[in-house]
Structure 1
Amino acid sequence: ITRNPLASPGIIGVNAGAALAAVSLIVVFPTVPIVLLPLAAFSGALTVAVLIYLLVWKGGSSPVRLILVGVGFSLITGALTNLMVTFGNIYDVSQALVWLAGSVYGRSWAQVVALVPWLVGFGLLSLFLSRELNALQLGDDVALSLGSRLEWQRGWLLLSSVALAGAAVATAGNVGFVGLMAPHIARQLVGPSHEGLLPVAALTGGMMVVVADLIGRLLFAPLELPCGIITAIIGAPYFLYLLIRTRRT
């Protein structure tokens, strides 16, 4: 959507917005059914995405500017999340802290059932719009000449990506850098065409979380590290590499 290789949900603050909304639901309304957690995360992610769109994309985006605005939103939402944790009930806060670290520990079929409608609905929508992504990747002028309706398509693509990111955060917490690394790995495997890139990137991201969770369980057994810590250790250097390469080009 942005034609920016650094614009993953975790980097630009969308995941942090989803985390704030989900933690607010866990701490303030602990009796709310678990099926509403993806909806809360989606609301938080969508709010942050719209604000970023107004502040960055409308004025002309650059990789560094997008990162700076994303870091700013991450800091603000992170501070509000810490505020919720500080004043919450100790039992609810302990659940939220494990979840915030990015972990699939203790997840049950209830979370899977709550996630399925979001994956199926918005996953199919993303695949349906995959050809439009190919056109948008060539630039607005080329996309318009091919008959694309830019604002309509960007709106649906933004809604779909935010919904999928919010649902993932609601289920596994804020597992960082997966949304940054998986598309680049998938692009090396199947090329730039989004018809194949989207499903392969989704499978790659899922495999990364599974492998990171396995490493976290075995590396310091019987202690368990959240998979979000493992992905951050691997993903942070990769992010710096992408940032340096983007600035050079």
Structure 2
Amino acid sequence: MRGSVLRTRGGLSVRLDTRAAGVVLLLAALAAVLAVALIGTGDYPMSPGEVLSTLTGGGTAAQEFIVNDVRLPRVLVGLLVGAALGIAGAVFQSVSRNPLGSPDVIGLGQGAAAGALNVIVLFHGGTYAVTGGAFAGALATGAAVYLLAWKRGIHGYRLVLVGIGAAAVLGAVNGYLLTRADYVDAARAVVWLTGSLDGRDWTQVRPLLVACAVLVPLVLGRGRALRMLEMGDDAAFALGVRVERTRLVLMLAAVLLTAAATAAAGPVAFVALTAPQLARRLTRSAGPNLPAAACMGAVLLVGADWAAQRLFGDRLLPAGVVTGMLGGGYLLWLLVNERKAGRI
């Protein structure tokens, strides 16, 4: 195993995977570069130097308004949503011991969308009501999938299959809700369902930041137990992990992270599926690689939003369209490899 051991004078030793740490630092730097580039992109273009000067208080009044009030909240939502989805995907893939065990595959994104659509279509709710609906829908879906997949424990493929069925049912429910909506609500719902960072402001940043500040340390603090769960319930129990309690806490945290991300930006497709897998391939380390997955998720979403604004001419696409195109191709590649390996 690669890495170095850090020892303190008190006798405490900690092993550090230098490759994984280097990957995290590089991904964090790339996310920061993309964030600066995205802030400078738009009808009023700004150079990276102007963006950095404005962020540190050296810009003109017009630049401060554009950066601090219009573009910075959008970028922060992108970074936080990407990180939340990356960590949530890593948790579910580790718990299910299946690369397909992603929130958007097992129906959590569709459940959050169903809750939000009910608020939009039936109650014409505002931003905070939609956020509450997304949380309620994701929690209800997560509880239903967990209970239906339970049979003397949680088996990875059973969890994925139950989740795929739940996603199909919820997709039909969402389609029905759209047919019941009037023109204005239907247009608003369709834009939200695509997954977009357009128009995001500080009202989306604050609750998302609070959710990440509470839930991300909770998940990171159980990273060692999560890694042991990948070895199987019996092995984890033998190593001192309280299996069911740990799994329930981690899954609940991942559901809440997915709900918070979906409420802020809509059901952004495939970030939760691809980010943990790409992070693991870069670090070449076993385990969930939670920090790398978070940074990779942030890079993917902010990079997709930048590409959606710059690479398609005058047509500004939602970020969810770009992640859907890239993630769909990755999913097909993953299914082919899983079939060749005899796992499906």
TM-score, length-scaled by structure 1: 0.90
Is the 1:179–1:205 contact (alpha carbons within 8 Å) kept by the matching residues of 2? yes
In structure 2, relative to structure 1, the CA distance for the partners of 1:128 and 1:38 (3 Å cut) is farther
For 2:235, which of 142, 150, 163 is the aligned residue?
Answer: 142
1:244 equivalenced with 2:336 (yes/no): yes
Q: Tell whether 2:211 aligns with 1:118.
A: yes
Q: Corresponding residue for 1:156?
A: 249
| Secondary structure, aligned partner of 2:253 | helix
CA distance in 2 between partners of 1:152 and 1:211 (Å)? 36
Larger Rg: 2
Distance 1:112 1:138 in 2: 37
Aligned to 2:107: 13
Letter in 1 for 2:267: N
State the Cα deviation string for residues 197-242 of structure 1 (Å, max 9, x = none).
2122112111111111121122222211111111111111211222
Indicate the residue corresponding to 1:168 in structure 2. Answer: 261
Structure-2 residue corresponding to 1:100 = 193
Offset at residue 57 of structure 1 (A): 4.3
- The alignment status of 1:86 with 2:179, answered yes or no, reads yes
Task: Describe how 1:181-192 pairs up with structure 2 within 5 A.
Answer: 181-190=274-283, 191-192=285-286
Task: Kindly indicate whether the alpha-carbon contact (under 8 Å) linking 1:38 and 1:115 is maintained by their aligned counterparts in 2.
Answer: no
Gaps of 5+ in 2: 1-94
Out of 155, 167, 183, the residue aligned to residue 61 of structure 1 is 155
Count of residue pairs the alignment pairs up: 245
| C-alpha RMSD of the superposition | 1.9
Given the superposition, is the C-alpha separation of residues 139 and 66 from structure 1 closer, same or farther in structure 2, using an over 3 Å criterion?
A: closer
Which is further off, 153-162 or 182-191? Answer: 182-191
Compute the TM-score of the two structures, normalised by the length of structure 2: 0.67
Name the aligned partner's letter for residue 217 of structure 2. L
Q: C-alpha offsets along residues 62-113 of structure 1, whole Å, 9 cap, x if unaligned?
A: 54x5544333222211221122222223223222111101111111111111
Farther off after superposition, 53-62 or 233-242: 53-62
Q: Structure 2 CA distance, aligned partners of 1:127 and 1:164?
A: 13
The structural deviation recorded for 1:174 is 1.1
Shift of residue 29, structure 1, vs aligned partner: 2.6
Whether contact under 8 Å (1:38, 1:114) holds in the other structure is no
Aligned pair partner of 2:135 in 42, 46, 49? 42
User: 1:101–1:229: 8 Å Cα contact kept in structure 2?
Assistant: yes
2:275 touches 2:297 (CA, 8 Å); kept in 1? yes
Aligned sequence identity (%)? 40
Q: Are the aligned partners of 1:15 and 1:165 in contact in 2 as well (CA < 8 Å)?
A: yes
Amino acid at match of 2:116: A
Aligned partners of 2:96 and 2:156 also within 8 Å? no
Q: Which amino acid aligns with 2:276?
A: P
Task: Show structure 1 runs of 5+ residues with no match.
Answer: none
Amino acid at match of 1:127: L
Answer yes or no: is 1:225 the counterpart of 2:225.
no
Whether 2:170 is the aligned partner of 1:77: answer: yes
